[in-house]
Amino acid sequence: MTAKVSLLPTKSYDWPLVRDAVAEHFSLLEVSIAPDRPVVLKPNLILRCGPERAATFHPMVLEAVLAQLRDMGVKNIAVAESPGGPFTPGLLKALFDKTGVAKAAAKYHVPCITETQGIQRHRTENLLCRTFDIIAPVTEDVFLIDLCKVKTHCMMTFSGGVKNLFGCVPGLLKPQLHYRFPEEEQFAAMLVDLAETLHPDLVIADGVIGMEGDGPTAGNPCPLGITAAAPYEGLYALDLLLCRMIGLEPARVPTVMESKRRGLCPEPVILGNRTLAQTVTPFRRPRSKTLDFAASAGILGPLVRWAKPWLASRPYIQKKSCIGCGQCAGTCPADAIILQNRKAEIDPKKCIRCFCCHEMCPERAVQVWEPPFFRWFSK
């Protein structure tokens, strides 16, 4: 299987640079779309926040994609997303407004979908999860463009093209999947099943400024200076390449390893700036992934794996920052969070360490506790 990936330097979000980069990606990959075929853009808009936070796909890159599609004569375009938490028209509108996507889409008279209907998509060949509830715009006949952000991730280590597709699952149905598949390897297998079911036609990665540390929402902006793209056949290879470029070992990224295990992730054939692929900008890992001691402890590995429940990182509430909004409680798949005296409380016995609460906290009040032993060993 050929896995073409286009890679280009994109040093800033200045319009000429971004517009030219997107046009070149489409040219290098020879993207062709029938003018009457419906196109759905699925950007990573995980949280209602401005683009300066680097948690969401930048609206300038999205605008460049829309300009390219219009230049190609594509008529029927829509933007659709389902972040974590409650899934309502009002919250979706606020999401599109706050992230700058609504303004970018309006320039090209493209709707941002705020209806909350769902559909089911089924794929018999999947290994773990064969049926998914999906947001209604993402039907089998659309040309799906997966617009992902280059970020670290507290549960999956890395958030790229594969993980971004989880946003096609409606609102609070996401926690159900977290609860069904609480282990990292299981969850990664489910995400690959989802990617195979949705079969995005094109994936574009915003790595102009990525996020390092406690991503996907509470990390820090980190300049990478690139954009990348791939057709469906290169979806997994794109994630592999991006992991290498930010200094993450692919063997410690569950979605990458699952795709390799299934034979879906060959080495990328790089188009564009091949030299750029050799450049590594090490991103700081999430505190939940600071040290995979079980993987590096040699003969002590079995002992460490047995002790994992006591050694594993977990979320905790920084009370002085908590505003009692209830976002964390509303998204917790294990019902491990309650509000007491307008502050969130996590029951450690129920917590499955999926870090959904950490992702969805608008105030960064949910922090990641790292075992002191790991902090010492990492020094």
CATH number at residue 373: 3.30.70.20
Q: How many domains does the chain have?
A: 2
Domain-ending residue, one of 232, 248, 278: 278
Residue 313 and residue 288 in contact, taking contact as beta carbons nearer than 8 Å: yes
| Claim to verify: residue 57 and residue 182 sit in the same structural domain | yes
| Claim to verify: residue 176 and residue 240 sit in the same structural domain | yes
* Domain span at 232: 4-278
* Confidence at residue 311, expressed as pLDDT on a 0 to 100 scale: 57
* Confidence at residue 146, expressed as pLDDT on a 0 to 100 scale: 99
Residue 285 is assigned to a structural domain of this protein: no
**pLDDT tens digit at each of 379 positions of the chain:** 789 999 999 999 999 999 999 999 999 999 999 999 999 999 999 999 999 999 999 999 999 999 999 999 999 999 999 998 788 999 999 999 999 999 999 999 999 999 999 999 999 999 999 999 999 999 999 999 999 999 999 999 999 999 999 999 998 899 889 999 999 999 999 999 999 999 999 999 999 999 999 999 999 999 999 999 999 999 999 999 999 999 999 999 999 999 999 999 999 999 999 999 999 999 999 988 754 444 444 444 555 555 555 556 789 999 999 999 998 998 898 899 999 999 999 998 898 888 889 888 999 999 888 666 444 444 4
Residue 283 is assigned to a structural domain of this protein: no
Residue 51 and residue 147 in contact, taking contact as beta carbons nearer than 8 Å: no
Residue 326 and residue 357 in contact, taking contact as beta carbons nearer than 8 Å: no
| Claim to verify: residue 318 and residue 199 sit in the same structural domain | no
Residue 78 is assigned to a structural domain of this protein: yes
* Confidence at residue 294, expressed as pLDDT on a 0 to 100 scale: 44
Q: How far apart (Å, rounded) are the C-alpha atoms in residues 26 and 231?
A: 10
Residue type, 191: L
- Cα 154 off chain centre by: 11
Helix (H, G, I), strand (E, B) or coil at 121: strand
Residue 209 is assigned to a structural domain of this protein: yes
| Claim to verify: residue 264 and residue 353 sit in the same structural domain | no
Whole-prediction pTM: 0.88
∠ CA 114-357-173, nearest 5°, is: 45
b/e code 281-318 from CB counts within 10 Å (16+ = b): bebbbbbbbbbebbeeeeeeeeebeeeeeebebbbbbe
| Claim to verify: residue 38 and residue 187 sit in the same structural domain | yes
Half-sphere exposure of 269 (CA within 13 A, CB side): 9
Give 251-257 contacts, CB < 8 A, sequence gap 24+. 251/295, 252/157, 252/289, 252/292, 252/295, 253/156, 253/157, 253/158, 254/156, 254/157, 254/184, 254/185, 254/187, 254/188, 255/156, 255/158, 255/160, 255/162, 255/163, 255/188, 255/191, 255/192, 256/158, 257/188
Residue 284 is assigned to a structural domain of this protein: no
* Confidence at residue 290, expressed as pLDDT on a 0 to 100 scale: 52
| Claim to verify: residue 39 and residue 129 sit in the same structural domain | yes
Residue type, 172: L
Cβ neighbors of 110 (< 8 A, separation 6 or more) are: 66, 77, 78, 79
Residue 178 is assigned to a structural domain of this protein: yes
- Lookup: tokens for 7: 């890679």
| Claim to verify: residue 305 and residue 249 sit in the same structural domain | no
| Claim to verify: residue 167 and residue 269 sit in the same structural domain | yes
| Claim to verify: residue 340 and residue 216 sit in the same structural domain | no
Kindly report the CATH number assigned to the domain that includes residue 78. 3.40.50
| Claim to verify: residue 260 and residue 134 sit in the same structural domain | yes
Residue 154 is assigned to a structural domain of this protein: yes
Residue type, 113: I
Q: Which helix (H) or strand (E) holds 272?
A: strand 269-272
- Lookup: tokens for 289: 């992934």
Q: How far apart (Å, rounded) are the C-alpha atoms in residues 102 and 109?
A: 10
Q: How far apart (Å, rounded) are the C-alpha atoms in residues 14 and 16?
A: 6
| Claim to verify: residue 328 and residue 179 sit in the same structural domain | no
Residue type, 44: N
Among 58, 82, 80, CA closest to 10:
58
Q: How far apart (Å, rounded) are the C-alpha atoms in residues 281 and 65?
A: 26
Residue 84 is assigned to a structural domain of this protein: yes
Domain-ending residue, one of 236, 252, 278: 278
| Claim to verify: residue 97 and residue 142 sit in the same structural domain | yes
Q: How far apart (Å, rounded) are the C-alpha atoms in residues 163 and 188?
A: 9
